[in-house]
Amino acid sequence: MQELTCEFSMEVVGGRTLRVARWRWDMASEHLPILFFNGIGANIEAVAPLAEALTERPFIMFDMPGVGGSPDPLVPYNTFTMSWTAKELLRRFNCDQVDVMGISWGGGMAQHFTLQHPDYVRRLILCATSAGMFMVPGNPGALTKMVNPRRYVDAAFMEEHFRTLYGGLTGGKAEHISRLTPPSPRGYVYQLLAMLGWTSAPALPFLKKDTLIMMGDEDQIVPLANGKILETLIPNSRLEIFEQGGHLFMLTHREQTISCIRGFLDGPERTDTKRKAA
């Protein structure tokens, strides 16, 4: 079995210090690297199993300011500045094209990065996410608990409200909780503010990248309807629905997730374009 390696580094970009993780970066590969944007308040380790499972691909991600091992932000940031920051990180590591993937809050970042820097992106994968401000809201009980950073600090709180928060099956719950590191209060608030009023909806019809949208049918935070909206708005997209999948279907449906990602990224280039009604 091939040895899996992850290299961590602290990188200063645009005055922000970020903890960056790279898997198999110097490995010869016929596949493009994956640039991953994480969910709100989530640290690198929360997604490490996904990066480790995709053994044939380089993989890069970073902790947002005030999250995981990245120091607190000095000033607020937004999707534009963080997309620029991600692009500069890629340039620093001599990478000029990637496949982009994002989950939940990070799905918004993935959309914005692709729209802002299309020359850097081949294909796009969106998981449990929405078009932003115009999203179909989730379960109020789940949303009020999601914005509370206590879920990262208090394991008992997370254990008690796990199904309310994430819906669907709950396999792998203990492993997931053990990987989480609480964000700082400032880091969490700034991450929430970064998406305040943001939406990709007007621009998505002009997004020409092949796009895979993955959604759980029991997601309590980002309901399935949001994935259907994304599929309608993005011309070259398809929707994959995970039955009994909650917000963390990548954890509970791990093998299906990996198979779906590989099938999409390794698939032939599309020659058809969905026609939108005038």
Enumerate the active-site residues.
Answer: 104
Q: Which long-range contacts (CB under 8 A, 24 or more apart) does 141-150 make?
A: 141/220, 142/166, 142/167, 142/220, 142/221, 143/221, 146/40, 146/221, 147/192, 149/41, 149/182, 149/183, 149/185, 149/188
What's the CA gap between 24 and 55, in Å, rounded?
8
Place of tokens 């994430």: 166
- For 145-167, give the DSSP string: HHT-THHHH-HHHHHHHHHHHH-
**Strand spans (E) along 5-63:** 6-13, 16-23, 34-37, 59-62
Cβ neighbours of residue 276 under 8 Å, at least 6 residues apart? 205, 235
Q: Specify which residues 35 forms β-bridges with.
A: 60, 100
